[in-house]
Amino acid sequence: PLPTIYVITPTYARLVQKAELTRISQTFLHVPQLHWILVEDSPNKTALVSELLARSGLTYTHLHVLTPHDRKLQEGDPSWLKPRGAEQRNEGLRWLRESTRGRQREQGVVYFADDDNTYSVQLFEEMRGTQMVSVWPVGLVGGMRYERPVVEGGRVVRFHTGWRPGRPFPIDMAGFAVSLRLVLANPESRFDGNAPMGFLESSFLQGLVTMEELEPRAEMCTKVLVWHTRTEKPKMKREEALQKQGLGSDPGVEV
Ligand code: UDP
Ligand code: MN
């Protein structure tokens, strides 16, 4: 049987949430044997997300965990101040370990997919055979056209990155997948929500794998199959002006 790809996605309520989740869920529909673990950063499961999942046609698990206030980025904070989505990814890992307990030998892959990135369907076939940790380039990230592991003689020897190449694993969240077996064999490994900027991925990968063991994919890390796109925050100037006159858009229409 095809190894299952467990995709863990943190998500939070904002104007573009439904658009983001619609886009990635419809990408995932093209991927066989994919199980989406969607983790809301909220005190409870919302109706918007519950209904979207129910209609998605995907195999999914719906979870939620609220990021504690002191760990959350505040309005006006620079976006690099605190890692985002750490508790939600950990909640996804907790569920996965619990629900696959006793299935240590199951072939499976775990991938952390943020809701705003752009994923090629091809990426999922690249990661499906992951033995420990597979890696590939990520486009439009870190102030670069792309970042990637540099491969020589079939092995990763260093990383092409614009910033702090000395980090243990200077890889974006979108640039690696881990085998289910490795996740289950290391029940304590998780993301450190207090990790300094740029070290969140390292906090998880450090205990799991060495650079030499990384499995390069996407034609020896020469092809970009995932992009760290970011969605502009929509302006609501007109909406607010109309609201003042009692002419705002119908709040009953879900956007
Ligand atoms: N996220 C979240 N709670 C937040 C902010 C972000 O769950 O308060 C999620 C978000 O939906 C995304 C992931 O965490 O799936 C990474 O966030 P974002 O895309 O904003 O990070 P960036 O692209 O700036 O690194
Ligand atoms: Mn993002």
ipTM entry: 0.99
Contact in structure between 158 and 110 (CB atoms under 8 Å) = no
Residue from 8, 9, 12 to probe ligand 1 pocket by mutation (most atoms less than 8 Å from CB): 12
CA atoms of 124 and 109, how far apart (whole Å): 10
How far is ligand 2, taken at its centre, from the CA of residue 114, in Å?
6
- Nearest atom in ligand 1 to the alpha carbon of residue 114 is 15
> Under 8 Å CB-to-CB from 174, ≥6 apart: which residues?
112, 113, 114, 117, 119, 138, 141, 226, 228
pLDDT at 70: 79
CA atoms of 61 and 58, how far apart (whole Å): 10
Point out the residues of the chain with pLDDT beneath 70.
Answer: 73, 79-80
* H or E segment to which residue 65 belongs: none
Contact in structure between 100 and 180 (CB atoms under 8 Å) = yes
pLDDT at 146: 98
Specify whether 201 is catalytic: yes
Reported pTM: 0.97
CA-based nearest residue to 196, from 177, 176, 168: 168
Alpha helix locations (H) across 63-207? 86-99, 121-127, 180-185, 200-205
pLDDT at 74: 73
Q: Does the beta carbon of 175 lie inside 6 Å of ligand 1?
A: no
Q: Would you mind telling me the total number of residues written for the chain in this entry?
A: 255
pLDDT at 79: 67
